[in-house]
Amino acid sequence: MERTLMIIKPDAMEKGHIGDILSILEKQPGLDLIGLRKVKLSPDDARHFYAIHKERPFFGELVQYMTRGPVVVIAIEGENAVARMRGIIGATNPKEAAEGTIRKLYAESIGENAVHGSDSPENGLVETGFFFFEREFLRLRK
């Protein structure tokens, strides 16, 4: 069992894609949306969450973007959840994303790319823990 975090980012929120994206997730057999919340990140939240990118030239832009409006954070659990979600999300750059992926459908650019997905099982645990307490997770059938 793995956990992964998806964030529906401000650009996708502004375009009204919460429902479209949740509907894609709900259709995935074996992936359980165990936590779901709308939040507004503070600049400190965004700097901590993306600390791994702090030396990148786009870091300031990334913090601005991620804090300009509310986002939806979703904790997802399932077998092979990290790789499966990365497949559903598509490449970081929407121009390189496969047909039918969330970024191909809804993202504009490499910076404003509609959603975030954890890149490893280890980060899946860290990132879901960034937004949720263990006691908040609710499973569909357990």
Active site residues: 116
For residue 7, how many C-alpha atoms fall within 13 Å in the half-sphere facing its CB?
Answer: 26
Q: Does residue 4 bind ligand CMP (CB under 6 A)?
A: no
Question: Which SS3 state, helix, strand or coil, does residue 35 take?
Answer: strand
Using the contact rule CB under 6 A, the part of the chain among 19-27, 32-40, 105-113, 133-141 near ligand CMP is 105-113
Q: Does residue 113 bind ligand CMP (CB under 6 A)?
A: yes
Exposed / middle / buried, residue 124 (Cβ in 10 Å: 0-12, 13-18, 19+) = buried
Q: Does residue 92 bind ligand CMP (CB under 6 A)?
A: yes
Q: How far is the CB of 66 from ligand CMP (least distance, A)?
A: 8
Q: Does residue 62 bind ligand CMP (CB under 6 A)?
A: yes
Question: Which SS3 state, helix, strand or coil, does residue 19 take?
Answer: helix
**Residue of 15, 23, 43, 58 interacting with ligand CMP (CB under 6 A):** 58
Q: How far is the CB of 26 from ligand CMP (least distance, A)?
A: 22
User: Which positions lie near ligand CMP, rule CB under 6 A?
Assistant: 53, 58, 61-62, 92, 110-111, 113, 116
